Amino acid sequence: MSTLPSTQKAVALPAKRSPLIEISTPVHPPAAGEVVVRVQWVASSPLDLHRADGGLLISSYPAPQGGGGAAGTVVAVGSGGDLKGLQVGDHVSVFAFHGGKEANQQQYITIPAYLASKVPEGIPLQAAVTVPVNLVTVFHSVTADLELELPWPIPKNWKPKAVNEPILIWGASSSVGIFAIQVLRHWGYANVLTVSSSQHHEYLKSLGATVCFDYRKFDVVDNILDYLKDAEEPKVPYILDCIGSLKGTLEPLAKIAQRGSRVAVMLPVIVKDASEEEEPVYEMDVSKCLPGKWADGAIVRGVRTHFYLQNEFFKEKLQPEILPSLLAQGIIKPNNQRVVEGATMVERAQNALTLLRSKAVSGEKLVYRVSEA
């Protein structure tokens, strides 16, 4: 433990809608069951933008930035406890979200071992960092919010009860959408409908999408309902909204969902995007979104991925075992990456926020270096 520095550089928010700054924070030695990871790559996420522009889930400033994916090398392990087989020198990807010593946009993070996934041979850290946040989100939303089955390991000759029922993924070219298609395909769900811009349709079909619709077409809702005209009601029993936009996704989905439809919406719901002059408006309670517009009996839930740890099986198995196994077998593939450049860690983080704010990212994940190899 003596080789760990006592302090480190971290990216922080000095105030809402202000440029990022560098601060010094402590490096926390690992307790039993914990590991310290030297962070080499970070995956940027919409949460970074929601925190920066809207102050989402921030109680005071300066606030260390981060709450998502990181990848790096284990440099220390706690004495005792369940370390999930991790050792010093292992390459890992991480989805950690409690802030403080787990904040991902800093040089070292100290985490419980169950929040880390050993990276399989042959997969670069730059690619591995794109996986954990969104894959965990898929497992949690599909099982907890849509209440579909994803048993592990998959029993021999197993078929899901909803094998042929329509599952609609809106925002399918997002990171969550891309992993959702791959997971559902592998678990035997055979009727996955996707909505994205048309430029991504061939790729989504290669991942396992049954049919693709273009959200930019004014009659996209009519096209979906026409495709399902012979289906029993609810025509779309399962809906995964990977975007969570009041106008962009919830309004059209409210026209599709019927009694018995289950709708899982990524939070926060974006009521109004940020502009140069105005702060964004978010809503964390989906029941307050479009009241009276949803069909009676439609079940609409906001996805709270951080609650996945309440599922004891997923807590112990999802990141340590399921994720690396799926990656090693090629069942899921990392997102395409766009490397964000900059002279310093803070500049790279700021450039990533600018790209997110400009909505210039589609079908790929923003990643950037925190420290060198």
Read off the pLDDT of residues 337-350 as tens digits, 9 standing for 90 and up: 999 999 999 999 99
Question: pLDDT tens digit string along 158-169?
Answer: 999 999 999 999
What's the pTM value of the predicted model, to 2 decimals? Answer: 0.96
Is there a contact between 204 and 173 (Cβ–Cβ < 8 Å)?
yes
The answer to whether 104 touches 67, Cβ cutoff 8 Å, is yes
pLDDT 10s digits, 173-195:
999 999 999 999 999 999 999 99
What is the arithmetic mean of pLDDT over 73-83?
Answer: 97
317: left (phi over 0), alpha (psi -120 to 50) or beta: alpha
Starting at the edge strand found earlier in the chain, the sheet holding 192-196 runs 211-214, 192-196, 167-170, 238-241, 262-266, 299-303
Indicate the helix (H) or strand (E) that contains 47: helix 46-54
pLDDT at 146 over 90: yes
**How confident is the model at residue 372, as a pLDDT?**
66
pLDDT over 80 (residue 2): no
Q: Tell me what pLDDT residue 67 has.
A: 66
**What's residue 58's pLDDT?**
87
Instruction: Kindly list the structural domains of the chain, giving each domain's residue range(s) and its CATH number in brackets, ordered by start.
Output: 7-131+334-369 (3.90.180.10), 134-306 (3.40.50.720)
Structure tokens at 39: 């962070």
Distances (CA, A) of 333 to 144, 175, 349: 23, 11, 25
Give the alpha-carbon dihedral of 292, 294, 295, 296, to 10 degrees: -60
